[in-house]
Structure 1
Amino acid sequence: MQKYAQQQIIQLLPRLVALKDVSPLILLLSSSSQSAKYLLFEFAYKHQGDSNVAVVVLSFETTSGELTWLTGKSVSVLKCHRLSIAQIHDQVRPFLDSPKRTLILIDTLDFILPSELTSFIVPLIRQNSSLVVVTRSEAFPYAYPVSSIYTPSLLAQLNYLATTIISVHPYRESNAEMEYEEIQFKSNSGTYLLPFGSHARKCRLDLVQRRKSGRAVEGSYVYDFDCHTFTYLSPRAASSSTDDSDNLAGDLTTFNLGTTEKQRLARDQVELPYMKAQEDETAVGTGAIVYQFEKDDDYDEEDPYEDPF
């Protein structure tokens, strides 16, 4: 990733939600441990009273009760569960043809086949519109019927098309490192083991935005749905090269190749021979080549090129 001014990164996500920065396709990656719906509804909350922005929610699985807190007249909810792609486009087209800026929010793409994704998304992206979609970050091989072995997965296509990708993870205030447990899936029983604090209204966001110049900008934030705030997380301090080598070796072998702090101190105190030679000033310029003949050496005294010295 290219270096970017920290002050601009801090304001990157808030400006993105406020539509001050242009990003035609924003991909929200949810998981079984943290839903991205809270972040999706944050876009609607920011513009529910904006007369210059028409918010259109394409609902495939969101119930009507989940959106009762949206009181703005500029928010329209379209039920799309039993509609075809052509019928959905017909309902959205009046909003796209209006002079207002259109913000289209799709709560899930799980009901769209990978082979139909392009034909569904491309007509919704226009110069005066922004599209925010939600999909799962985990790959479930049985989620969609395989129409062709050459058809890329839904997630692969979205990662290619999206100009901004936001991954949503659980957040724990007690852990300063913001580390979270991965979901463990038991294939035998078909059950999930979710970490404590899953699907909370406060979560961590990892953002990657692709610029027209080809560079990418990344940043991490803590999002609080109750307060509607984004808190920027500064990157972790770079660990020492010794720690990096130990972590790398630990992933390559089952043996314990790491070193303890006591072993590192003992290793640093070892006096290396070439270091001692550099400190001895009297040894400078006094080097000599010493060659000892062996019994099998064929040395010709009359040949000047065979002089070992």
Structure 2
Amino acid sequence: MSFEFGRHIDWSNVDWDAVLRNDGITRSLRSVNGELPAWLVEYRVKKLANLAKERVVVEAKPKIRARDSASWIKSNNRNFTGTRKREIVPRSPFSNMDKPLSPAANQRHSIHLMSRVLNIRHSSSPFTLLLDELNQRASPFVAEMVTRAVSRNINVVFVSFESLHSDPSIRDVRAAGKTGDEILSDLQFQMNDSKESLVIVDSLHDLLNDKKVDMGALFDLVSMKYASTLVGVYHQDLLPAQDAEASYAPQPLDLIKYLATTVITCKSLAHVLAAKAAKERSLAEPTFGLLQGAEGIVQSLDANDTRGIVLEAEFRRKSGRPESETFFLRPGDHYDYNTPMPGYAVGTLKREFVVLLAQVPAYASKEVIGRVQAAGNEIESTFELGLTEKQRQARGAVVLPYFDAQKGEGGEGGRILYDMGAEDDFDEEEDEI
């Protein structure tokens, strides 16, 4: 049985089940001289041409970060649906494993952690605890967080005990004259119409001790129900409340340290430099403020250094492993931010300017280290150990008894020349030289 195919065949109407069941066609597919039949080649060309027409080519557009970081801004931060939920970010089971990092990579990693906290990035730190004192307030750090939050259209709510705000973009919950339940109720009202908020308590000591607010209830309201960020400032120079009934209960500071996901201690740059200078000379670190124990002194000189603030940070990972590093945050300038977009008072961050303390020139410069080492080489005592010029000349005029033996002029070997005095008791048997 043989088949002949014309040059133009409508392959769309072919019953391929019947064709493949035909033994003659099946045998004709077996090439004798190594070439396929002409009709099969023609069918293949037409089939490939149709597939090429049906194929849709999707070109991937290169993703370029905008210069104004407009994607950071939450264009629609309004929400009226009730409880918020944090987005679940898929994590690799090996993401928490330690990886060997070079010093440069370790610096970038540490700065990235602090940058996420400052920029209120998603799930970076639900509860950040700031520890400050009179020698260094946490105000510069809080002001920088508020600036970056406002630039990203995040709802900022202040629970104020000692702060005054006139900026219309900041919502204020006055704590004076209110009970703890009223404060939580007002706070919930200020957060109710926003998807994400930044809640700052400027005095956790007053909130916990005077208003008797439960820290667990505050954390559940802000971080759990509204999926927002809580920042609390605790003044370490305030004495804890003495309660005989709760003598065995943990102190409020210990409790909030346990709950915090990031603990940041604020220090003055001038005091840190003084402590480093003392350490380089193997001296005891100086104390400042109330730790000096001097009557009437509560704040030392060079407190609240205007050059910037030193931040000793401890980041608690989800695995429970803490990461500690010391940073330096200088005051922000206009060139650190982009031009504000229409309707916004502050532009988004252009470049990160928080650095490690080891990268600060005043802390790690060779000039400072040289001055410290030079000062350490000086001997400190209550009396003069040096010689005057007259004493130095008199010492040089003294001829020691072994000088002649060293010259080797007398030819007497190493015999020591000594002139006996009247007080010397010479014994030929015992004192023979």
- TM-score where L is the length of structure 2: 0.47
Preserved CA contact (<8 Å) 1:36 1:134 = yes
Question: What 5-or-longer segments of structure 1 have no aligned partner?
Answer: 238-309
1:232 alignment partner in structure 2:
356
Question: What's the RMSD between the two structures over aligned residues?
Answer: 3.2
In the alignment, the residues of structure 2 paired with residue 27 and residue 105 of structure 1 have an alpha-carbon distance, to the nearest angstrom, of: 10
In the alignment, the residues of structure 1 paired with residue 293 and residue 276 of structure 2 have an alpha-carbon distance, to the nearest angstrom, of: 31
1:133 alignment partner in structure 2:
232
Question: The residue matched to 1:103 in structure 2 has which SS?
Answer: strand
What CA deviation, in whole Å up to 9, does each residue of 1:29-80 have, x standing for no partner? 00221111221122111122333x1000110111x2xx34x4xx43212211
Q: Does 1:162 align with 2:255?
A: no
Larger Cα-atom Rg:
2
Preserved CA contact (<8 Å) 1:25 1:131 = yes
Preserved CA contact (<8 Å) 2:161 2:202 = yes
What CA deviation, in whole Å up to 9, does each residue of 1:115-144 have, x standing for no partner? 644255233322520000000234624x45
Preserved CA contact (<8 Å) 1:117 1:154 = no
1:148 alignment partner in structure 2:
246
Preserved CA contact (<8 Å) 2:191 2:197 = yes
Q: CA deviation at 1:24?
A: 0.9
What CA deviation, in whole Å up to 9, does each residue of 1:202-240 have, x standing for no partner? 210010010111111111111123547422223999xxx
In the alignment, the residues of structure 1 paired with residue 356 and residue 291 of structure 2 have an alpha-carbon distance, to the nearest angstrom, of: 35
Q: CA deviation at 1:190?
A: 5.3
Q: Compared with structure 1, are the counterparts of its residues 189 and 20 closer, same or farther at alpha carbon in structure 2 (3 Å cutoff)?
A: closer
Q: CA deviation at 1:81?
A: 2.1
Q: Does 1:185 align with 2:290?
A: yes
Preserved CA contact (<8 Å) 1:50 1:74 = no
Preserved CA contact (<8 Å) 1:57 1:77 = yes
Q: CA deviation at 1:172?
A: 2.3
1:223 counterpart letter in structure 2: L
What CA deviation, in whole Å up to 9, does each residue of 1:134-164 have, x standing for no partner? 00234624x4544411221111011100000
1:222 alignment partner in structure 2:
328
Q: Compared with structure 1, are the counterparts of its residues 100 and 144 closer, same or farther at alpha carbon in structure 2 (3 Å cutoff)?
A: farther
In the alignment, the residues of structure 1 paired with residue 122 and residue 286 of structure 2 have an alpha-carbon distance, to the nearest angstrom, of: 33
Identity of aligned residues (%): 22
Count of matched residue pairs: 228
In the alignment, the residues of structure 2 paired with residue 173 and residue 157 of structure 1 have an alpha-carbon distance, to the nearest angstrom, of: 28
Question: The residue matched to 1:218 in structure 2 has which SS?
Answer: strand
> Which of 12, 18, 34 is 2:119 aligned to?
18
Preserved CA contact (<8 Å) 1:35 1:199 = yes
2:180 counterpart letter in structure 1: I
Question: The residue matched to 2:159 in structure 1 has which SS?
Answer: strand
Question: The residue matched to 1:88 in structure 2 has which SS?
Answer: helix
In the alignment, the residues of structure 2 paired with residue 162 and residue 188 of structure 1 have an alpha-carbon distance, to the nearest angstrom, of: 31
Q: Compared with structure 1, are the counterparts of its residues 230 and 149 closer, same or farther at alpha carbon in structure 2 (3 Å cutoff)?
A: same
1:283 alignment partner in structure 2:
none
Report which structure shows greater RCO (CA 8 Å, sep ≥6).
1
> Which of 318, 323, 327 is 1:212 aligned to?
318
1:121 alignment partner in structure 2:
218
Question: The residue matched to 1:225 in structure 2 has which SS?
Answer: coil
Question: What 5-or-longer segments of structure 2 have no aligned partner?
Answer: 1-97, 278-284, 337-352, 365-433
Q: CA deviation at 1:174?
A: 9.7
In the alignment, the residues of structure 1 paired with residue 295 and residue 243 of structure 2 have an alpha-carbon distance, to the nearest angstrom, of: 20
Question: The residue matched to 1:234 in structure 2 has which SS?
Answer: helix
Q: Compared with structure 1, are the counterparts of its residues 87 and 191 closer, same or farther at alpha carbon in structure 2 (3 Å cutoff)?
A: same
In the alignment, the residues of structure 2 paired with residue 100 and residue 21 of structure 1 have an alpha-carbon distance, to the nearest angstrom, of: 12
Question: The residue matched to 1:112 in structure 2 has which SS?
Answer: helix
> Which of 116, 132, 136 is 1:30 aligned to?
132
